[in-house]
Chain A
Amino acid sequence: MVFNSLTFAIFLPIVLGLYYLVPRRFQNSVLLVAGYVFYGFWDIRFLYLISLSTVLDFCTGLMIGDGRMTVYQRLQPTLHLLLFSLLFLVFDWNAVHFAGMGAPRVDWEHAISPFGLRVFALSLAGVIVAHALYPWLLRLPEDRRRLFFLRVSLFGQLGMLGVFKYYNFFIESGEVLAQRIGLDVSRLHLDILLPIGISFYTFQTLSYVLDVYWRRMQPVTHLLDFALFVSYFPPLVAGPIERASHLIPRLLGERKLTLDAVSRGSFLILLGLFKKMAIADGLAGSVSSIFDTTGTVGSLDIIAGSVAFAFQVYCDFSGYSDIATGVSLFFGIDLLKNFELPYFSVNPSEFWRRWHISLSTWLRDYLYIPLGGNRGTEAKTQRNLMLTMVIGGLWHGAAWNFVLWGAYQGLLLAVHRAIVGAAAPAFDGSLWRRLPRMLFFFAFVCYGWMLFRADSLEQIVAFTRTLFTSFDFTLTMKRPTFSALLGVPVLLALEFLQFSARTPLFHRRLWIPVRGLVYATLILLIVMGTSNDSQQFIYFQF
């Protein structure tokens, strides 16, 4: 289910209605069921995976933190996992046929999935082994127990991510090498679907286990509370990547819907839909006309295509974050900030403080600092930077161009650090002094986006060669749609206003008729954008 769909437009009011109709103690249950419906809309089988992820880290969190689980705490995840495997894997929902408003017809002959039965058997075996080992695990010394469960969590979560996201990539990457030594690895390919948003919720749950391990927070004691943390639907499939220490207190604490939250939420939803539907979708065809062609492309086309993609990917991704944050505000829950005018950056260090903030801070806190951060020699710091950015690149997708993009970002950070030093003050000049630096750095950002968007290493090589050796200034890129052509200047104007006002609530400072004009313009452009060829959010694939 995507935010810019009619299905979501029906889903959200129903969830909101139920949420505010039921007593407070049932509100989280409404949100949990909503999260499962939202996620199951893509493929109902994915719900088993999210259940496995939930159960694994709920149990490991308790064993790391408290060192024990009550009978109830052990029974709950057991039932959760087995029930989900029965409901969403053993029972094949493709055997249910819906015809209009009538009762659904079930094709019982095909209602049981042999694959699902195998997974159920494995889950059952896993649960029995876990229960059998529990008394022995209780007797482990605290340090060993904590480390053991941390490893179980990391192995389980990263293992799932590895199998679903990276397995085929590494098999394909090693295929050529294997062929040279006479090995046929093509049979090792797995025909698997990439569960949508798996990188987002995996990182989210990892942050929980690591925070509990580092004693930054207490473990969650109720499975349903933890399940809601994993499957809270607004940020579920494309972020912001929530921190347990930020989201869990908000999910468990008192929440109040205020007029201010409704107003902020409405504006964010409006802004997000505008970015996604009017601009990102309106530019998608133009970008595709450059990157998806098998023919040769001139230098001006590559520049135009990369700039167009810079706006497309920004509007697509930050649009999602805006809508997620806006929707969440309607439930009285604040999400982490994910973007802060990234193209106003004047250097790579500032860019990563403004772009996909929830990922960059995650990488900083859970990878860069544990690697040693900047505490060692300069060479070690540069190595840590590079390693963090390459892994950050690989987080985006299982392809060499993402690795290259990560390495390029790491290189930019390393070079910038080498030039200005570790303690360079942030640039604080006026907007007009900032502008030329912004444009200069934007060129580097766009080259990075070319690496990101390219569909092969061959295309990266060809485009780079053309950029630096051929000066063909004919433009064949498909013209963006009207909504994008009008939307980009509107976006720039809004962002300049926001930058000058230094607050995301800049629009509230406008004279009321002008404020009305801004909202009406966004609505007009969204309506125009509804005619664009609707694209899936780019970051769903990650």
Chain B
Amino acid sequence: MRVVGWMLAWLVVFDLAAGFAFRPPADPRVEPGRLQAYFEYGRSIEGKLRAMVTADDATSAPIATTGWLADGARPDALRKATAADRILIAAYGQSFTHKMLEEAQHLDPRIEMRLLGGPGAPLSHSFKVQELDRHQHEARVVLVGILASSLQFLVTQTPMNWGFEAPTPFTYPRYRLEDGVLRATDPPITDLAGLRKALADPDAFREVRAALDANDPGFSAFLFDQDLLDASVFGRLARRSWGLQHQTEFTARYHGAAGFTNRDGLLDVARALLVDFGREVRADGRVPFVVLFEDRGYAGHLVDALGATLTANAIPFVSSGSVAPASDLGNFVADGHFTPAANERIAEAFVEKLRAAVP
């Protein structure tokens, strides 16, 4: 019995000591260390939102300020061409798209980029931002980058729930196909100011929560709601464990070893979005382009799911799998992005296809 007592005492000491030693930086703009982040992964989404969103944008965590639809007309980056006869590309996607285009610009200095997106943004986000942005530029090419590991998040309204370990709070509509027509359910908030207001007003926050609960199959009250577990290192580790299991089960509903499933109309909606994307861009007199990024665990699955639709609608596309297969883990760095060499090969394939599409 004495030994059990000592064991419990040590567990309390561990909890307090790790909580103190690895507490996150008070300033949300400061990147936490690895161990600090590790012991914070299991904090509730609400707890993390309250820590990252401060009184104004300038002092909030950078991750909280990106990807918002209300900022849709404000490009993240505009990179000028260094050669004459520029080809302006309006690109929508996530870091994979941005990194590939940066590399493409080195390969073809005529390329000029207008980049909009959000971390790990799914196709629904890119589609909506493209719609909001379509009259704001003179691009010859409109590009959407689709990341295999975020395709299934078309059925959600925010990356918060599926990326609960480090939630990015931006939002996007959830599209559904009704009688062959795309219908959008808009998210409860579309900018950081709206989130800040909701965090300060319990009723407004309850409404945001209820809307996410209704429209996001990845929503989990246990992961979302702030509670006593946030105060304990062991509590947070336990929540993280449960959350990862929840995340795995969520992903397994839409993706398995054989590829993507059409659960909740996932593939029907993705294909319909691409058809509408191609039609809208052509109606504006521009060239639509799609880059399919097949990341770890998704070898060949994205092109299997969407390749036929792109071909049938004459939308030029490049799949990373053809030059940097996801089955070769040497193509990836630790955080899941492509290595510079793999990125260069994807960019080469893209530039080659681009030159054919825009002579």
Contact = CB atoms under 8 A, between A and B. Distances in A.
A293 B11 contact: no
A512 B3 contact: yes
A528 interface: yes
Interface in A279-299: 288-289, 292-297
B6 A517 contact: yes
A478 interface: yes
Interface string B243-258: 0110010000000000
Interface string B315-347: 000000000010111110010000000000000
B48 interface: no
Nearest to A266: B4
A516 B6 contact: yes
A482 interface: yes
A293 B238 contact: no
Give the residue among A294, A478, A531 with the most B Cβ atoms within 10 A: A531
B237 A531 contact: yes
A489 interface: no
Given A297-B330, A531-B237, A523 B7 contact: yes
Given A295-B328, A295-B330, A295-B331, A519 B234 contact: no
A524 B327 contact: no
A478 B329 CA distance: 10
B176 interface: no
Contact of B329 (A295, A482, A523, A530): A295
B30 interface: no
Contacts of B3: 512, 515-516, 519
Nearest to B35: A482
B222 interface: no
B10 A294 contact: no
Give the residue among A296, A482, A519, A534 with the most B Cβ atoms within 10 A: A519
Nearest to B242: A530
B145 to A, nearest CB: 23
B314 interface: no
A482 B10 contact: no
A531 B244 CA distance: 7
A513 B3 CA distance: 7
B14 A294 contact: no
Give the residue among B6, B14, B35, B331 with the most A Cβ atoms within 10 A: B6
B189 to A, nearest CB: 30
Contacts of B35: 482
Nearest to B34: A482
Interface string A473-508: 000101100100000000000000000000000000
Contacts of B330: 293, 295-297, 476
A294 B328 contact: yes
Contacts of A519: 3, 7, 10
A527 interface: yes
A293 B324 CA distance: 12
B283 to A, nearest CB: 42
B135 interface: no
Contacts of A515: 3, 6
Contact of B327 (A294, A478, A530): A294
A422 interface: no
A520 interface: yes
A296 B328 CA distance: 8
A527 B10 contact: no
A293 B10 contact: no
Contact of A520 (B7, B38, B41): B7
A527 B237 contact: yes
A293 B328 contact: yes
Interface in B90-125: none
A524 B11 contact: yes
B359 interface: no
A292 B245 CA distance: 23
B9 A516 contact: yes
B163 to A, nearest CB: 15
B99 to A, nearest CB: 19
A292 B296 CA distance: 11
Contact of A482 (B4, B7, B38, B241): B38
A531 B241 contact: yes
Contacts of B244: 531, 533
A515 B10 CA distance: 10
A327 to B, nearest CB: 20
B301 interface: no
A310 B3 CA distance: 33
A295 B14 CA distance: 42
Contacts of A521: 10, 14
A520 B329 contact: no
B57 to A, nearest CB: 32
Nearest to B6: A516
Contacts of B329: 288-289, 292-293, 295, 478
A37 B6 CA distance: 37
Contacts of A516: 3-10
A294 B326 CA distance: 9
Contacts of A512: 2-3, 6
A508 B237 CA distance: 29
Contacts of B43: none
Nearest to A288: B329
Interface string B160-179: 00000000000000000000
Interface of A: 288-289, 292-297, 476, 478-479, 482, 512-513, 515-517, 519-521, 523-524, 527-528, 530-531, 533-534
Given A476-B330, A478-B334, A516-B6, 11 more contacts: A479-B334, A482-B35, A482-B38, A512-B2, A515-B3, A516-B10, A520-B8, A524-B14, A527-B241, A531-B244, A533-B244
8 contacts: A289-B329, A294-B327, A294-B328, A297-B330, A512-B2, A513-B6, A524-B11, A531-B244
